[in-house]
Each structure stands twice: as structure tokens, then as C-alpha cells.
Structure 1
């Protein structure tokens, strides 16, 4: 036999045999679609609010993991997002300010420790795109409200692309406070209304354009031979409450519920609240909010109507993006996250705004759909925004070596009743901080005004109407050590 033919036959037999053996394929890394929604409290149908129209978000929450007790670390946009992006609790009062990311990250050289979890994913092979408000600045670039856009990225090492369609308004800041005619709060010196109902298509306001950008970008990302992170930051329902007329028309104003408790809690103080300065700076508003008493029922319903319309408007934009994710065949391998950067008092406790350590300002929407896991679960454990960073790097199989203050939520996906979960969330504001447990919220303030402590029982007083700290010494004795474990702000108590 010809030895060459003999060897060829052996080789052919080897190929045939080995081709029959199944190969162990390395699982591909999941894509991430991370949707940030400004000022989105749990005002959604999936949280049991029957008055709100949010079908797309409700559908997503029902097909994923819905967190009923998610609390942000700081009730203001920039600082809350900084905690999200870095996985850290605040360490000084500077970390409670909107400008903290531009102060400590923008303009800095690349370091061994990643600047954000997005930076970490980028280092690990992800193509990263940001559209809209992900960090504090609406378009991701650092500049003042009345200045032209700079070329300094707020997160210089996190993005392959950072996008916003703001041409109608002239800058990201103008678009963020924009009205349908192309005007904005900034250049009009705040001589504007805190709401607007314009008979325009979705693209008449910035968030409709953001959804369109995301749809086009998904088509491009499908063709890339690498996993992607797409951060999508919607402006509404942040003030001003501006949305196309068709979303206002979804509601009968007379049927819109008022805040369940519009007053200062018993045994509390005005010092624990604020005078709604952000809301009141819209100079054409018909009434001014005050801690001396509520606005009229008619005006409260009008403003709440605007907030609800904005939620429905954003719900529709998110629905368009999710539909495109399905059309492109990307949904089965894409983690989808929806996160509200904090809550908002809609007249609750006489406040119109965030900036308190009450539940209304700290409790925000958070849910996610995770490929390859048993979705469709409601998780009632207390979780923090600081837990999102470790969760994503866990799900994306990209571990980090540095310390994070949060914990991966993956054990709760597998067992929502996991008794080993810590079940606490810490939050900071107003010269004080608080801890949320399943039953209580305990606050401590470092200030001249009494009280120093406030305690609310959420089993019996979900609207936080009566401070029971003085009446419950045994509960205080149990919770004070838990509270003090979260005293991370260097100036507190010094």
C-alpha cells in the first residue's frame, strides 16, 4: 500500500471521529442595555400603582427581576449616579454633590482601578456607547449650564461613543430643560412653567430623539463582533414635566390621586425637609410650594398630571427600544436594566422634589431581565444602588480586584428569600444619613435642630407620618449599631 495513501486514510478517519465529539463552547458574554430614568420613583403599574399607564415597563418587569425595595445612596442626580457607576458609598460631603464625578473622574489619567463599571467592561472587550444622561451631565461632557459644550468627557475612559441629539436646543443642558419650541429654562432665565403639554410627536422633545438614536445604534451594534454596553439616559420625568399631548390625554385629571400624606411628620421638623427650591424656581408656576401648607388640590393634580404624562412618555420610548432589541435578535443575550436615579416627593410631606432621606426621595424603580436565569420573580429584600456594579460584573464574568461597597444580587436571583442577604440600604443627605431595613427607616442628623433621630415603622406607617424614635427604645437599641455601620461620610459626627 502506498504509505501516503495509508496516512491520508488514517487522517480522514481521525477527522471523522473527532468531528462527532461535541465541543465545549465557551459561553459568550452577555450584552448590557442599561436604561437610566431621571427622577423615576416607583410610580409604575408593576409596583401596584393602578392609576399610572406604563405597559412597556410593566411587561419588562414582569419578565425579569422586580426589586420592590431598592433605595439609592444619595437623593440627587449626580451623586446617586456616581455611587451607581463606582459601586461606592459617599466618603465625604463632596460626594453628596451633583458635581462629584466631574471633580474626581473627569480630566484624570487612566488608573489601574477602573473609573466606573463601564470602564471595566470596556477593558474586558465590551464596546461601550452612552446616549443621553448616564453620569450627571446630560450629554456626558463637562460644562456649565450657560456655556457652549466642551470636549471634556465626564467619564473619559468609559466610552467608545457618547451621543445626544440636542441640535434643536443647542446644547445638552438646554435640551435637558427644553420645551417643544426649542426654548429652554436656562436662556429664558427661569421665566417658564414647570410643565408643558405640546401637540407634537415623540421627537418634539429630547427623549424621543434619544430613543431613535438607540434604535439606530442597536442595528450597528448587532454587526460588531463583540459584546456591547449601551447606556441609555432618559431625561423625563425630571422637571420641567414636558411631554407630548397624547400622553397627557391618557389621564383624567380629576381622577389623579393626591399625595397620601401632605404634612410634616409628627415628632419631626421642617429641618428634615426642604422648601421645594428646585420646583419653585420655575417662575411661571401658578403656586409656590411651602412647608407652611400644601398647594391647592387643583394645582397638585395639575403638576402630578405632568409627572404621570412624562412617565407614560418615557414608557413608550423604552418600549420602542425594547422592540428593536427583539427585532435585531439581541434580546436573548442582553441583560436589560431599568434604574431610577432616585425618588421624588409629589407633594408628599409638603415637598415637591427629592433631597430628603425619607422613603419618597430614596425609593426608586429598579428591575432587570437576565438571560439564562429563571426570570419573572419579585424580590422583596432591601437592596441598594451600590449593589448594581458588583451584580453586573458578576453576570458579565468580569471580576474586579478592588473593594466595592455593594454585593452581587445574583444570589437573590437564584433564591429571592435568601436569608443570608444583609437586607439593609444606607442613604445620605441634609447633614444626616439613614438605614432602611424591611420594617424600619432610621435616620440620624448632625445639626442644631431637633430631633437627632427619626424612626418610622413601615409595617404600620408606610407614608412616614409619625416619628416613633422616642417611643421605641428597644428598637433603637437594636438598630443604632446597624445605622452606625453605614456612617461612611468622614464629617458626620466629627
Structure 2
């Protein structure tokens, strides 16, 4: 891999990425397969991250690969986050922050020289690509409204040899996405539903169980074929509604589930940086309504955290089935496995139940990478971004990296997290704001009612946002951070201060 050209700044901030393109060997005889697993709304709430959540299968994967503790997405909403990751590009315009980013920017265009997504690039280079479930924004990969029949128009028209989904008793992808165990869904019940469900049913009685079964069936077909395969699998949980079979709820004693360590609005944080959990409150049969003015009770908070934890354990079991089949088929040692969460989730932190903020917990998500060429177990504390996944995967597959991406390959970090040429800075965008995360700080600037509002958080001691220290931190540090942030103004902003 070509080394970086480094732009040095103060030691407390480290440096910005400034990489050249990797030199790839295109004459490889046998390229590795790719298993890419997307999990919706999965914050770093796994056993391997130190959580009480029971995730033996993902923990086992992390024990044989690289577990990233400081992976940040670029936009804290599903469709936009996935679009950015899939293209390796930071947002340039307001529509890039929309859940419809793939639809707007990719779906209606003719195939161009520049690859549509990383899966399109793999397909062009001899991979047989299969998508199952929610990989971009639409839950089965086809464009249609919540209450409409499934269409025949692909969200990513050039990325897939096959785009598959088993909608089961729910009949469409959107119904399944918001589905309950009896086959109903949020739409058909006019939102008169609770935000959780504990049903004494089998794994296959919820959509993610069907997705795992379909992935296993397709993997058996793909195994041993002459072409390398790329199988991308998208699971719904732990996205709302928090629905999971009872046996996963039974893994936890609700009375002992820990509450949020930061349940209050941080001192000095501007209210418009947060929100009133409207997506969560849209489940009209919830036990309580919550807002920035009204926290959930401790009992309800524990119930909701219990539900979220059960969903993660349920998805962990589905991932485990796929990984076990990969090994049984003899493909484990020739398959790159990536598990990615599309963003975090507040889970009561800072009085918010949801994502859609530029706070750390909303932007930090799960990332595990296991690659045959880099199989050392690593707990990685370097800062990486979702836009880095595309170039990393291309380097692992010995393919050229297309021009025009903002991400940079972190292949060398997979075995050597102390790599001196890596730059620790991740940029994120939302709510008419831009944020940068460096090792000790997060600096965020919003443009609100024609004014620039700045927030700064220190992670050296607290670990999470508890106080906005912008007005009290040393001027030299603030100036340095503002300079780092301003280097990315050209990508997206509505007005400079």
C-alpha cells in the first residue's frame, strides 16, 4: 500500500487523512469471497465492546479479526449513511443527508464509468454479487412507498447480479421492516402499536430469521463456483420496533439492566443539537411519551433497553448461523467478513431515544473485519470512518481503488493498529451542522437562524458528552480544532460563520 503524505498538527489532535491510491496486484489467480453484513441501528452494544449484551457469535468473529472501537459514520440516518459508505464519499449537498440519497443520486442514472457502489465495482471485476435484505435504504432493494406494492425498480440498478428478499407473511419489504409476529405491521395498524414486542415464537417468525435462512441457501449455491462471490446481507433489528422472540428476552433480567450513564442533556448543549424522539414516539401504543423535557421513567427505560438488547441477541444468532454455514462449506479461510452498523442509537442517552444527532453515540457504530490476509485478533482504537470501508475492501480483494473517493484504506491497521501513517479524524454531517472527531475531542458547528453555534466535548476523562467546553477550553486547542474542521467545509455546509 502506498504510504500517506502526512500533514502534521498538534499531538493532541493527530493528523488528517492524506493518502495516495493503493497499488494493487490485478493478476491474482484466486480472489477472496466477500460476506458483508449490515445491521440497522447497531451501536457498539456487543459483548466484545464490554457491554452486558449477549452476543457470542459476533464476539467470536471479533476474536479472529479487527474490532474497531472508534468507527464513525458520516451521516446519522440510515439511507444517507449507507449511501456514503457504499460510494466512499462524504456528502457534498443537502440531498446527500437524506434517506433517499441512493434513489436521488444513483437509481435513475445510466451506468457510468465511475462505479455506482463498491458492489458494482466488485461485479465489474468478476465477482458474482448478491444482495439480501436492507443493504441501501429500501428494505428489499426496490423503490416503492411504505404502503405500496413492491415495484420492479432497483435502488442500486448496477450493483447486483441478484437482489433477493423473503418477505414471508408480511408480503412486502416495508411491511416486514415494521412487522410484528402475527404478520401485521406499523402501517396496517395506523401506528397503533407499541415500540417493542416479546412473542413466544421461533426465529423464523420474524423477518431476520427468514433473511438468515435465505442467505444460507444462497451461500450453498455460490460456494465452489468458479467466480468469487460477494454476498451482502442486511438485517433489520435492532431498528424499531424492538421485536424479538421471547427466548432472547429471557437472556436478561430486566431489573438488573443498566440505565444510561448520561441520561440528561449535557451542560451547555444546544437543544437543537438533540431532538424530541419523534420516530420513537410515532409508535402510539408506547408506555410513555418522551421528549427533551420529559425523560422516560427508570422502569420504562429498562424495558426499552431490555427490548433493544434482546433484538441484538436475536440478530447475533442469525449472524452466527451464516458464519457457521460459511465454515461448514469450507469457505471461511477464503472469505472476507465485514460486519457494519449503519449508525449508533441514543437509547436514552442525553434524553434521546433514536439517532439523528451529531453526538458521539449516534455516530459511533459497530465495525468488525476478518480477512484471510490479515487474521490477527486486534482491538483497534484508531479512528476510522464508514467511507474508509470501500477502499479497504478493494485492497483486500486486490482490486484497483476508483478515483474520487474521500475514504482511505485501513488495511495496514488490521494487524498493526499503531501504524504511524494513519490519520485519526472522522467527519460527520447532519442538522445543518458539521462535526469532526479526533482522539480526545469532538468539535461540532451548526448554522442556526443565521448564526454559527459551536460545541466541543472532551473524551479524555468522561468518555461521553457531559459538558460543552467550547467556551472554557484552551484557545490553542480550540483554534487547532476549528482549523481541522474548516478543511472539510468545502464538502458540505450552508453558510460559513
Q: TM-score of the superposition, structure 2-length normalised? A: 0.93
Q: Deviations over 1:207-254 (max 9, x none)?
A: 000000011111100142110100000000000000000000000000
1:450 CA drift (Å): 7.7
SS at 1:452's partner residue? strand
- Contact kept in structure 2, 1:118 and 1:128, CA below 8 Å: yes
Match in the other structure for 1:389? 390
Note closer, same or farther for the CA distance 1:158–1:250 as it changes in structure 2 (3 Å cut): same
Match in the other structure for 2:484? 482
Match in the other structure for 2:245? 244
Q: For residues 102 and 479 of structure 1, what CA distance do their matches in structure 2 show? A: 35
- Contact kept in structure 2, 1:432 and 1:492, CA below 8 Å: no
Q: For residues 383 and 247 of structure 2, what CA distance do their matches in structure 1 show? A: 36
1:451 CA drift (Å): 7.3
1:173 CA drift (Å): 0.3
Match in the other structure for 1:44? 46
- Contact kept in structure 1, 2:336 and 2:371, CA below 8 Å: yes
Q: Deviations over 1:45-87 (max 9, x none)?
A: 11111x1100100010111011110000000000000001000
1:186 CA drift (Å): 1.1
- Contact kept in structure 2, 1:279 and 1:352, CA below 8 Å: yes
Q: Deviations over 1:411-445 (max 9, x none)?
A: 21242111211100000111101000111011000
SS at 1:356's partner residue? coil
1:293 CA drift (Å): 2.9
Q: How many residues align?
A: 469
Q: For residues 28 and 436 of structure 2, what CA distance do their matches in structure 1 show? A: 42
1:56-455 mapped onto 2 (5 Å cutoff): 56-448=57-449, 452-455=453-456
Q: For residues 429 and 400 of structure 1, what CA distance do their matches in structure 2 show? A: 27
1:268 CA drift (Å): 1.4
SS at 1:471's partner residue? coil
Q: For residues 358 and 488 of structure 2, what CA distance do their matches in structure 1 show? A: 14
Q: Deviations over 1:6-43 (max 9, x none)?
A: xxxxxxxxxxxxxxxxxxx9441010000000000000
Q: For residues 56 and 293 of structure 1, what CA distance do their matches in structure 2 show? A: 37
Q: TM-score of the superposition, structure 1-length normalised? A: 0.93
- Contact kept in structure 1, 2:395 and 2:401, CA below 8 Å: no
- Contact kept in structure 1, 2:28 and 2:398, CA below 8 Å: no
Q: For residues 181 and 374 of structure 1, what CA distance do their matches in structure 2 show? A: 43
SS at 1:246's partner residue? helix
1:454-493 mapped onto 2 (5 Å cutoff): 454-472=455-473, 473-487=475-489, 488-493=491-496
- Contact kept in structure 1, 2:376 and 2:415, CA below 8 Å: no
Q: For residues 449 and 352 of structure 1, what CA distance do their matches in structure 2 show? A: 28
1:266 CA drift (Å): 0.7
- Contact kept in structure 1, 2:79 and 2:136, CA below 8 Å: yes
- Contact kept in structure 2, 1:67 and 1:380, CA below 8 Å: yes
Match in the other structure for 2:3? none
Q: For residues 134 and 228 of structure 2, what CA distance do their matches in structure 1 show? A: 22
Q: For residues 478 and 26 of structure 1, what CA distance do their matches in structure 2 show? A: 44
Q: Deviations over 1:116-149 (max 9, x none)?
A: 0100000000000000000000000001101100
Structure 2 alignment gaps of length 5 or more: 1-26
Note closer, same or farther for the CA distance 1:430–1:26 as it changes in structure 2 (3 Å cut): closer
